[in-house]
């Protein structure tokens, strides 16, 4: 299933005005009972899904649609083994969303409002029956095939044309069902010649425009038979920075786990942050530093990418200008971190870190 556009019916929307601040509302889009929707013909299901994705009271021509001026978040709510539903580290998403909006010179969305809105949106949809149910069989593959709710908070600007900033944006939150992100059985990666981010740019912001280059590069990689592409730095084209839409880790033969250090060209991933902490808990030496493509190809025993959708996904090989390095697949460390992360997220392991925010149950 991966990502789908079958949005759940309850949507959160807030509008900022200079005079009145943020005005919030919950919209309940057209829907039937989930059981009834499951029985609809493909055409009827598509029509119902499409009806949830249209808003007649928002401008088509604006700074988001014309220039990509906007930002977004990716958050997951996960069914728990005890029958409940919980969101993974939304406080971190609230912080990053605030920073992204501030970085784009928008009025930033208050963190406390973000947390209340995202929890309430998931709760209201769950009350209508729109939520995944926990399945014990997910435990067999450490939840690689498990379902969850993907929550997408994003900004949308007021109407306008001509290059400008957004001073009175909307913040919208929608929920969709999601499963495994990467295609099973494809795990090779290739270094792209494209540039994702430049110094003094927006690489550190989860900005809409950042993902255009990523989409092109990943499409080119897929056409060559690769699952993923990897970006190098823009100045030297020497140092590894990110995957197409995820952070990247290399577990070196020396026992050091390396991930590129944060800066204005690297997105501060929340899964990245979590895996660093879990690796340190295991006694692994973790370094956030520059790593050249040559070092990665010659010294890495394992490689994996991380993200809200990806979790900790192992990479079996990395190719660059005729060179190819193969890694242990799936690697012992990547597998252990994925198992620990997913165990906490789905409630089969204790949440000693307080990462999960309960919604129901």
By annotation, the residues acting in catalysis are 206
Q: What are phi and psi of 358, to 5 degrees?
A: -65, 140
Cα separation, 274 vs 345, in Å, equals 11
Specify burial of residue 63 (Cβ count, 10 A radius: 0-12, 13-18, 19+).
buried
- Distance, in Å, from the CA atom of 120 to the CA atom of 201, rounded to the nearest integer, reads 34
Q: Let me know: does 293 contact 323? Beta carbons within 8 Å.
A: no
Q: Supply 205's token pair.
A: 């912001």
By CB atoms closer than 10 A (0-12, 13-18, 19+), residue 254 is: exposed
**CA separation for the pair 331, 301 (Å, rounded):** 8
Q: Based on the number of CB atoms within 10 Å of its own CB, is 117 exposed (0-12), middle (13-18) or buried (19 or more)?
A: buried
Q: How far is CA 159 from CA 25, 71, 279, in A?
A: 20, 16, 46
Contact 169, 16 (CB under 8 A): yes
User: Do 119 and 87 touch, CB atoms closer than 8 A?
Assistant: yes
**In 289-331, where does DSSP find H-type helix?**
293-299
> How many whole angstroms separate alpha carbon 292 and alpha carbon 80?
40
- Alpha carbon distance 33, 3 (integer Å): 21
């Amino acid at each position: 299933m991966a990502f789908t556009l079958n949005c759940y019916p309850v949507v959160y929307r807030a509008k900022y005005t200079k005079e009145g601040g943020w005005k919030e509302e919950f919209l309940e889009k057209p829907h039937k009972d989930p059981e009834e929707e499951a029985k609809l013909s493909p055409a009827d299901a598509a029509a119902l899904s499409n009806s949830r994705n249209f808003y007649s009271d928002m401008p088509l021509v604006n700074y988001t649609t014309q220039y990509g001026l906007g930002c977004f978040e990716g958050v997951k709510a996960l069914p728990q083994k005890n029958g409940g539903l919980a969101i993974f580290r939304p406080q971190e998403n609230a912080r990053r969303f605030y920073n992204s909006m501030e970085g784009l010179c928008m009025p930033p969305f208050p963190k406390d409002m973000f947390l209340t809105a995202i929890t309430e949106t998931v709760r209201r949809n769950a009350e209508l029956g729109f939520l995944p149910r926990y399945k014990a069989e997910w435990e067999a593959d450490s939840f690689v095939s498990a379902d969850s709710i993907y929550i997408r908070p994003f900004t949308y600007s007021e109407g306008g044309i001509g290059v400008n900033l957004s001073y009175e944006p909307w913040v919208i939150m929608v929920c969709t069902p999601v499963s495994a992100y990467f295609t099973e059985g494809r795990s090779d990666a290739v270094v792209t010649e494209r540039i994702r981010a430049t110094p003094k740019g927006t690489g550190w912001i989860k900005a809409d425009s950042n993902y255009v280059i990523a989409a092109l590069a990943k499409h080119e990689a897929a056409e060559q038979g690769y699952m993923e592409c990897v970006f190098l730095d823009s100045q030297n084209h020497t140092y590894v920075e990110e995957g197409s839409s995820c952070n990247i880790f290399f577990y070196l033969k020396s026992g050091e786990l390396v991930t590129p250090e944060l800066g204005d060209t690297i997105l501060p991933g929340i899964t990245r942050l979590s895996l660093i902490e879990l690796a340190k808990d295991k006694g692994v030496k973790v370094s956030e530093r520059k790593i050249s493509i040559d070092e990665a190809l010659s010294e890495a025993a394992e490689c994996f990418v991380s993200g809200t959708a990806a979790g900790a996904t192992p990479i079996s090989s990395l190719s660059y200008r005729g060179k190819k390095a193969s890694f242990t697949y799936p690697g012992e460390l990547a597998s252990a971190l994925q198992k620990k992360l997913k165990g906490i997220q789905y409630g089969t392991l204790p949440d000693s870190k307080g990462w999960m925010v309960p919604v129901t149950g």
